[in-house]
């Protein structure tokens, strides 16, 4: 080629090697264009969400790259699920050190591709750049809801039931277990129970199966990413009402219940810790039966944990009806 | 509030203070939800693009925060323009040190809001996190094209005209001027010409006005972000053809032409440097007249710089028809 112009820069080879194999959807245009092209299904609104993850802040620098990729995609899918949406696709931006090992990139891209396929959320494009800092990535995910069916965070009204999916606190306990494995309550857990908590921290399970039930029955919903109590307080405040939950109704896994049984202080961790990626929903009482049935048909357990009210604020009550002192309610970056 | 649950974390106050005032579009849902809600116009396809910027890589750590915000949004708008799209909205992810000055945040958010308004691209949401590393941000922009009217990078065919908008090389010369202000060719420039080059590096001018002309007439287009020669080589390779451009036809601003007049080596910088954010288009010869007229009506100058051909590769010829030796053709991160 005359003139020395190169059509294949190192960056292009990097993208071709690691990401083109996992971005096979036609909308991705082979990752060869400036942009991706998406035709939303007729009769739908588009739901857009984005989350950023920084090594040392949102994950451990030595976490397996496959786990980092899964978490990055799944936390966004969890947001789509909470809004009643199904995924259409995602874009990735990835900032990595120049000397990132090829094996890291390969494992990251493979896991992202596998999850994109498993969740029906094709990787449509992105941007890969170098950074002198920690690995930093963000995923923007696009979903669709039937027109007008978006489930807002602001739709709660006084006198509605408060429900939550799955079990709460596993991820926060998993994180604490990683930070303090010698803690008595953890040391007494079986290997299986320890593994369960660690896995829940690393690998969120987005509740996409719950989306149709939320659309049909919920007045408000959000996913629990920064802790059940703090996130519920946010949803109630955004809706202009308050509420009350009973701590003993909040569902715990066998592993979390055992840990809390050994060390009652861990209940606060479970209620206020982050990374659950379960769904909180406010549901009119007349719709609760339908919601629970629809959730069960979708294979997602949901539990009634409290009720909304007119008076602002959130009370968290113990089994005897007394307010629990929880300290700080949710994780915040600033 | 009993139970200690807080509805307003530091992160929420951070978002409320800096970003809510500049995210007033109804689709942004007051930045109070997990997601944004967008209803694409009927009869359109959606165009998605994302770009990441890292302090110390894509901008100088001491660049004004307003300039960083503008560049972050505008490089994405430039991608939309190249695809023939008009903007619908954008999401921001921002990773900043915990001790980022409030004045930095305020100036960043204000400039982003002003640009979002000026370009009709409302900020719909995002994610703000802390990082132990450099300021890192990414913007994902959404645009719309009439169904089927997306202008691909892969549509060039042999025997088409190659055109480029505006002037080329100003930004790369502006960057070099910042890095080596003592260089003779720069020292001899007037203050106005130096200011022009520095401004073009800091503040891309996305060619959104050219989008309708591209949709109507161009077979292929892309924006010039990594250098004219390298990016054109990419577009031709992606289209399965080659081409030839004449270096003396590549339009230079008065400032760039003066600098190149003082120091001929700077022509290579202009042709291969990055950050132009002008539009390269391949246009069938029968459509060139219409394209040039439509561009002129839109207020965007375009220049014919060469022609595509069957044979692969890209030749860059000097005024006497000899190939120029350009060395490396475009910036790459890896």
Per-residue pLDDT of chain B in tens (334 residues, 90 and over written 9): 223 334 445 667 667 777 787 777 777 777 778 899 988 888 999 999 999 999 999 999 999 999 999 999 999 999 999 999 999 999 999 999 999 999 999 999 999 999 999 999 999 998 999 999 999 999 999 999 999 999 999 999 999 999 999 999 999 999 999 999 999 999 999 999 999 999 999 999 999 999 999 999 999 999 999 999 999 999 999 999 999 999 999 999 999 999 999 999 999 999 999 999 999 999 999 999 999 999 999 999 999 999 999 999 999 999 899 998 786 544 454 5
Per-residue model confidence (pLDDT) at position B26: 77
Does residue A31 register a pLDDT over 70? Answer: yes
Q: How many CA atoms lie within 13 A of B101 on its CB side?
A: 7
Contact list in B for residue A234 (CB cut-off 8 A) is 7, 9, 12
In this complex, which of B10, B37, B136 lies closest to A47 when CB atoms are compared? B37
By the 8 A CB rule, do A29 and A19 touch?
no
Q: Which has more confidence, B331 or A32?
A: A32
Q: Do B314 and A57 touch (CB under 8 A)?
A: no
The residues near B33 (Cβ < 8 Å, ≥ 6 apart) are A83, A152, A153, A154, A222, A238, B125
Please state which architecture CATH assigns to domain A161-317.
Alpha-Beta Complex (3.90)
Q: Please tell me the number of Cα atoms within 13 Å of B238 on its side-chain side.
A: 24
Q: What is the percent of chain A where pLDDT is above 90?
A: 84
Question: What is the arithmetic mean of pLDDT over A260-275?
Answer: 95
The alpha-helical segments, DSSP class H, found in chain A are: 10-18, 65-82, 102-118, 170-179, 184-187, 191-202, 211-217, 228-239, 254-262, 266-272, 285-297
Q: What is the mean pLDDT of residues A108-134?
A: 94
Give the B window 189-218 contacts with A, CB below 8 Å: none
* Percent of chain A topping pLDDT 70: 93
pLDDT of residue B14: 66
Cβ neighbours for A133, distance < 8 A, ≥ 6 positions apart:
A95, B54, B131, B132, B133, B134, B136
CA gap A145, A211 in Å, rounded: 9
Query: Are B48 and B128 in contact, with CB atoms under 8 Å apart?
Result: no
Alpha-carbon distance B281 to B57, whole Å? 28
Q: CB-CB: which of B39, B237, B238 is closest to A45?
A: B39
Residue B30: its pLDDT value, please? 73
Give this complex's ipTM.
0.89
- Cα(A277)–Cα(A205) distance, integer angstroms: 7
SS3 B256: helix
pLDDT at B2: 28
CA distance B263 to A215: 65
Any A CB within 8 A of B149 CB: no
Residues in A touching B8 (Cβ below 8 Å): 237
**pLDDT, tens digit, 9 for 90 and up, residues A220-230:** 999 999 999 99
CA distance A178 to A194: 10
Q: Which of B51, B92, B237 sits opposite A7 (nearest CB)?
A: B237
To the question of domain B160-317 being in CATH 3.40.50.1370, the answer is no
The whole-number pLDDT of residue A23 equals: 78
CA distances from B35 to A152, A221, B113, B157 (A): 9, 11, 19, 41
For chain B, the residue count is 334
A67 in reach of chain B (CB within 8 A): no
Task: With beta carbons less than 8 A apart as the criterion, state whether A2 and B323 touch.
Answer: yes
Nearest CA in chain B to A50: B126
Domain boundaries, chain A: 9-146, 161-317
Closest-CA residue in chain A for B146? A39
Q: Do A48 and B33 touch (CB under 8 A)?
A: no
Give per-residue pLDDT as tens, A152-211.
999 999 999 999 999 999 999 999 999 999 999 999 999 999 999 999 999 999 999 999
Helix (H, G, I), strand (E, B) or coil at A95: strand
Class of domain B9-146 as given by CATH: alpha beta
């Amino acid at each position: 080629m005359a003139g020395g112009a190169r059509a294949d820069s190192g960056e292009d080879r990097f993208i071709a090697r690691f990401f083109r194999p996992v971005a096979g959807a036609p909308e991705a245009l082979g990752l060869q264009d400036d942009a991706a092209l998406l035709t939303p299904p007729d009769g739908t609104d588009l739901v857009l969400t984005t989350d950023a993850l920084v090594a040392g802040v949102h994950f451990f620098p030595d976490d397996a790259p496959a786990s980092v990729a899964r978490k990055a995609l799944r936390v966004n899918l969890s947001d789509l699920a909470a809004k009643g949406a199904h995924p259409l696709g995602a874009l990735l931006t990835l900032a990595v050190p120049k000397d990132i090992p090829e094996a890291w990139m390969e494992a990251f891209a493979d896991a992202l591709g596998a999850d994109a396929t498993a969740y029906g959320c094709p990787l449509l494009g992105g941007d890969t750049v170098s950074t002198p800092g920690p690995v930093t990535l963000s995923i923007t995910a696009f979903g669709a809801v039937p027109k007008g069916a978006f489930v807002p965070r602001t739709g709660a009204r006084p006198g509605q039931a408060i429900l939550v999916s799955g079990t709460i606190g596993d991820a926060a306990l998993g994180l604490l277990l990683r930070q303090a494995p010698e803690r008595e309550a953890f040391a007494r857990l079986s290997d299986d129970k320890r593994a369960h908590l660690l896995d829940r921290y690393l690998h969120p399970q987005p509740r996409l199966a719950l989306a149709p039930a939320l659309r049909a029955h919920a007045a408000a919903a959000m996913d629990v990413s920064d802790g059940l109590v703090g996130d519920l307080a946010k949803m109630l405040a955004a809706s202009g009402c308050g509420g009350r939950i009973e701590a003993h109704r909040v569902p715990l896994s066998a592993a979390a219940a055992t840990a809390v049984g050994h060390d009652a202080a861990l209940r606060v961790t479970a209620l206020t810790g982050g990374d659950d990626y379960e769904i909180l929903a406010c549901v009119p009482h007349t719709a609760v039966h339908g919601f629970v049935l629809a959730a069960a048909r979708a294979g997602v357990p949901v539990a009634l944990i409290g009720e909304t009210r007119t008076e602002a604020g959130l009370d968290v009550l113990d089994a005897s009806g007394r307010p629990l002192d929880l300290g700080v309610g949710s994780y915040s970056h600033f």
